[in-house]
Structure 1
């Protein structure tokens, strides 16, 4: 099996990578069959963004903090674990944002696209779904659109719903909504096209963030699932991402 190893900057991740390379050898990314990423969830997302063009499956090993997207770290039996691994296919969100200077920015998000206020004043957002106005004004700290894979991350912290991977829906979740105070968000079909318009943009500036890619001072943001891009995560047998998402709903 031709494996390319990569690791975050954390000392334990770099040490783990060195041990793995010594034990299993190393293949350049362009010639590999699979990428083994050592780090935490944030590094896993970075790895997908950095190597998306290769289309290789990624098997993560936890040498970070949270590790929800990672497998347990062990130097033993790596080839057997990868061969028996269960695959999760993720379709990212495509964000198209226009800033106050008229520039268009495009980025992909595996977890979520977030809109966040930049100053002490609340953001004011107008929300349309598939071209139809659904919420004329949302005063809030921000809002986000999450994939099923990202529903247990920032979305969950913002009190959004956990979504099974095969549900074919997206979560639209407000962040500290002020008005309408009782609005808790919505579940949307995975085919939905979400548009945010920033109201009073000069007075209440807003940034748009696709995973770790930030665009500041945006005027409008369009978000839709990109079905033409498929990302493949590998998980140990019996510990699939689907199982983890279900288990998370019953955790204390």
Structure 2
């Protein structure tokens, strides 16, 4: 496991395939040097939120902090882009420690798929037919049948992404809870989801799976035709994200709750 050093001088630059991200990578590498991902103290990700998730997944095992700068279309997880004073910004940055969700999905062939999600694990109907889900928390059935387009479990860091679009709650990073949010629930129509302890284990059973097929998605990893899906926070894994002083992820999540 990588151990953070007190003063950062060695950076590695990774960029999405967008032209502006590639141009930024070249300019920054020329100005600050590129130590490579294996030798760098901090990895600088250039792109949008989707690319940040890719970098976090790819370098999760290394423990190296990730500092993002927005060179994409969406940048909630990114800092503002500037070529100036980059080392000073990184050394003064605030840290956010993120724990992913683990997903265990069993498909119609009996194959078990395991994946990690930084934002959310979502279940989605595959056809025009409404999905029917049975939801259990820590082994106890809490909702015998949910007719819906789908449902998701979101981390605090991911609560402002798909979860928010599905009218789920925004969760402060230190709240130690997960959001369980329905997607276009038809019956029970008034059920709006639940807030769960971060230790909760959420299980989904797909009802009438042959007639109403469902896919499971952990961030960008998809499994089709699932029969059951189990989701829990993985406290043994963590990622460090860096944000400019005064613009921490905690502050962004809080500010999002007052946006109009």
Q: TM-score range by the shorter chain?
A: over 0.9
Query: Post-superposition shift, 1:47?
Result: 0.5
The CA distance in 2 between the partners of 1:239 and 1:145, in whole Å, is 26
Q: Please show how residues 121-200 of structure 1 align to structure 2 within 5 Å.
A: 121-200=129-208
Query: Post-superposition shift, 1:6?
Result: 0.1
Query: Post-superposition shift, 1:50?
Result: 1.2
Query: Secondary structure at the residue paired with 1:207?
Result: strand
Query: Post-superposition shift, 1:55?
Result: 1.2
Where do 5+ consecutive residues of structure 2 fail to align?
Answer: 1-8
Where do 5+ consecutive residues of structure 1 fail to align?
Answer: none
Q: Please show how residues 54-133 of structure 1 align to structure 2 within 5 Å.
A: 54-133=62-141
The CA distance in 2 between the partners of 1:25 and 1:50, in whole Å, is 22
The CA distance in 2 between the partners of 1:200 and 1:38, in whole Å, is 44
Partner of residue 33 from structure 2, selected from 25, 28, 31: 25
Q: For this pair of structures, how many residues does the alignment match?
A: 252
What TM-score comes out, normalization by structure 1 length?
0.99
The CA distance in 2 between the partners of 1:49 and 1:69, in whole Å, is 14
Q: List per-residue Cα deviations over 1:5-27 (Å, max 9, x = no partner).
A: 00000100000000000000001
Query: Post-superposition shift, 1:54?
Result: 1.2
Query: Post-superposition shift, 1:33?
Result: 0.7
Give 4+ residue runs of structure 1 displaced > 4 Å after superposition: none
The CA distance in 2 between the partners of 1:28 and 1:63, in whole Å, is 20
